[in-house]
Amino acid sequence: MWSNDDAESNILVSRRRWTAIQIGAEHTVDASSFYEGKRHKVVWRFANRQVSIDGEDGMECVVGLPVGELIATDPAC
């Protein structure tokens, strides 16, 4: 969530990939975000234990957030 918790996006990554991301691996995922009930395309980019989420038309949603600050849940639970 970002923008006063008005926007959100979720992705699903394997446990193996998540472990790699946490130690600094690069990974990029195309996803959707939702803002004011509308769907938008975003790109999640992981590198150096940080994540940035970029939207359409150069919009920067999240910049250089440590991956430890993400809300991560295990869907198997």
pLDDT > 70 fraction of the chain, expressed in percent and rounded: 91
Region 19-44: mean pLDDT is: 93
Angstrom distances, CA of residue 53 to CA of 29, 76, 77: 9, 25, 26
Please state the pTM of the whole predicted model: 0.87
Chain-centre distance of CA 7, in angstroms? Answer: 12
